[in-house]
Amino acid sequence: MSQAASPSTGHAFLATLKRDLVIAYKRKNDMLNPFMFFLIVATLFPIGITPDPERLGEISAGVLWISALLASLLAMDNLYRSDYEDGSLEQLLLCPYPLYYLVLAKNLAHWLVSGLPVVLVSPLIAYMLNLPQEAYLTLFLTLLMGTPVLSLLGSIGVALTVGLGSRGLILAVITLPMSVPVLIAGTLAVQQTLNGAPLLAYLAIMGAMLLTALTLAPLASAAALRISVN
The DSSP secondary structure of the chain, one letter per residue, reads: --SPPPHHHHHHHHHHHHHHHHHHHH-HHHHHHHHHHHHHHHHHHHHHS---HHHHHHHHHHHHHHHHHHHHHHHHTTTTHHHHHHTHHHHHHHSSS-HHHHHHHHHHHHHHHHTHHHHHHHHHHHHHTT--GGGHHHHHHHHHHHHHHHHHHHHHHHHHHTT-SS-HHHHHHHHHHHHHHHHHHHHHHHHHHHHT---HHHHHHHHHHHHHHHHHHHHHHHHHHHHHH-
Residue 147, amino acid: T
The reported pLDDT for the residue numbered 7 is 54
What is the reported pLDDT for 39? Answer: 86
Give the integer Cα–Cα distance in Å for 221 and 112.
18
Q: What is the pLDDT of residue 230?
A: 67
pLDDT score at 2: 41
CA distance 174 to 36: 24
Low-confidence residues in the chain, pLDDT < 70: 1-7, 50, 165-168, 230
The whole-number pLDDT of residue 208 equals: 93
Q: Where in the chain are the domains?
A: 7-229
The pLDDT of residue 4 is 46
- How far is C-alpha 90 from the geometric centre of its chain's CA atoms? 24
Give pLDDT, residue 1: 42
Side-chain half-sphere CA neighbours of 212 within 13 A: 12
